[in-house]
Amino acid sequence: MTRIGIFGWGNLGKAVADNLLNFPDMQLKVIFSRRPQVVAAQAPKGIAVASVSDMEKWTDKIDVLLLCSGSATDLPEQTPAAVKLFNVVDSFDTHANIPTHFAAVDKAAKESSHLGLISAGWDPGLFSLSRALFNAFLPNGVDYTFWGKGVSQGHSDAIRRVAGVKRGVQYTVPRDTAIERVRSGEQPALSTREKHLRECFVVAENGADCAKIEAEIKNMPNYFSDYDTVVHFISEEEFEHDHKQMPHGGFVLRSGNNTEEYKSLLELNIKLDSNPHFTSGVLLAYARAVKRLFDNGARGCITVFDVPPSALFVGTPDDMRKHLL
Amino acid sequence: MTRIGIFGWGNLGKAVADNLLNFPDMQLKVIFSRRPQVVAAQAPKGIAVASVSDMEKWTDKIDVLLLCSGSATDLPEQTPAAVKLFNVVDSFDTHANIPTHFAAVDKAAKESSHLGLISAGWDPGLFSLSRALFNAFLPNGVDYTFWGKGVSQGHSDAIRRVAGVKRGVQYTVPRDTAIERVRSGEQPALSTREKHLRECFVVAENGADCAKIEAEIKNMPNYFSDYDTVVHFISEEEFEHDHKQMPHGGFVLRSGNNTEEYKSLLELNIKLDSNPHFTSGVLLAYARAVKRLFDNGARGCITVFDVPPSALFVGTPDDMRKHLL
Residue-wise pLDDT tens digits, A141-188: 999 999 999 999 889 999 999 999 999 999 999 999 999 999 999 999
Query: Nearest CA to CA, how far is B35 from chain A (Å)?
Result: 26
Let me know if the fold of A2-123+276-323 is the same as that of A128-273. Answer: no
Residue B154 clears pLDDT 90, i.e. is over it: no
Residue A267's SS3 state is: strand
Residue A126 clears pLDDT 90, i.e. is over it: yes
CATH of B128-273, one of 3.30.360.10, 1.20.1260.10, 3.90.230.10, 3.40.50.150: 3.30.360.10
Cα separation, A146 vs A270, in Å, equals 11
Residue B128 clears pLDDT 90, i.e. is over it: yes
Q: Does A33 touch chain B (CB under 8 A)?
A: no
- Residues B179 and B199 sit within 8 Å (Cβ to Cβ): no
pLDDT computed for residue A214 by the predictor: 97
Q: What is the pLDDT of residues B280-300, one digit of tens each?
A: 999 999 999 999 999 999 999
End-to-end CA, chain A: 26
Mean pLDDT of chain B: 96
pLDDT computed for residue A154 by the predictor: 87
Q: What is the pLDDT of residues B50-100, one digit of tens each?
A: 999 999 999 999 999 999 999 889 999 999 999 999 999 999 999 999 999
- Residues in B closer than 8 angstroms to A270, CB to CB, are 264-267
Q: Cis check for the bond before B29: say yes or no (omega within 30 of 0).
A: no
Query: Nearest CA to CA, how far is B146 from chain A (Å)?
Result: 14
pLDDT computed for residue A321 by the predictor: 96
Say which of B132, B273, B285 has its CB closest to residue A136. Answer: B285
Residue B37 clears pLDDT 90, i.e. is over it: yes
- Residues A20 and A4 sit within 8 Å (Cβ to Cβ): yes
CB count within 10 Å of CB A147 equals: 18
- Residues A278 and B300 sit within 8 Å (Cβ to Cβ): no
Cα separation, A136 vs B124, in Å, equals 16
Cα separation, A233 vs A167, in Å, equals 10
Residue A72 clears pLDDT 90, i.e. is over it: no
Count of residues in chain A: 325
- Residues in B closer than 8 angstroms to A19, CB to CB, are 258-259
Contact A273 B262 (CB under 8 A): yes
Q: What is the pLDDT of residues A223-244, one digit of tens each?
A: 999 999 999 999 999 999 999 9
How far is it between the farthest Cα atoms of chain A?
66
Q: Does B260 touch chain A (CB under 8 A)?
A: no
Contact B258 A318 (CB under 8 A): no
Contact B99 A322 (CB under 8 A): yes
Average pLDDT over residues B115-127: 97
- Residues A107 and A296 sit within 8 Å (Cβ to Cβ): no
Q: Which superfamily, per CATH, for A2-123+276-323? A: NAD(P)-binding Rossmann-like Domain (3.40.50.720)
Cα separation, A120 vs A126, in Å, equals 8
Provide the pLDDT confidence category of residue A5 given band limits of 50, 70 and 90.
Answer: very high
Q: What is the pLDDT of residues A203-219, one digit of tens each?
A: 999 999 999 999 999 99
Q: Does A207 touch chain B (CB under 8 A)?
A: no
Q: What is the pLDDT of residues B211-251, one digit of tens each?
A: 999 999 999 998 999 999 999 999 999 999 999 999 999 99
| DSSP annotation string for A28-67 | EEEEEESSHHHHHTTSPTT-EEEEGGGGGGGTTT-SEEEE
Provide the pLDDT confidence category of residue B153 given band limits of 50, 70 and 90.
Answer: confident
Q: To the nearest whole percent, how much of chain B has pLDDT over 90?
A: 97
| Residue spans per domain, chain A | 2-123+276-323, 128-273
- Residues in B closer than 8 angstroms to A273, CB to CB, are 258, 261-264
pLDDT computed for residue B40 by the predictor: 95
- Provide the 8-state DSSP code for A2: E
- Residues in B closer than 8 angstroms to A102, CB to CB, are 321
- Residues A254 and A138 sit within 8 Å (Cβ to Cβ): yes
- Residues in A closer than 8 angstroms to B317, CB to CB, are 305-306
Cα separation, B81 vs A128, in Å, equals 37
Cα separation, B23 vs A51, in Å, equals 52
Q: Which residues contact A43 (CB under 8 A, 6 or more apart)?
A: A9, A17, A31, A49
Q: To the nearest whole percent, how much of chain A has pLDDT over 70?
A: 100
pLDDT computed for residue B31 by the predictor: 98
How many helices and strands in chain A, by DSSP H and E? 12, 14
How many helices and strands in chain B, by DSSP H and E? 12, 14
Q: Does B243 touch chain A (CB under 8 A)?
A: no
Q: Does A251 touch chain B (CB under 8 A)?
A: no
Contact B98 A321 (CB under 8 A): yes
Average pLDDT over residues B139-168: 95
Q: Using alpha carbons, select from A250, A206, A288 the residue that is nearest to residue A19.
A: A288
pLDDT computed for residue B222 by the predictor: 87
Cα separation, A195 vs A175, in Å, equals 6
The A residues from 51 to 110 touching B (CB cutoff 8 Å) are 95, 98-99, 102
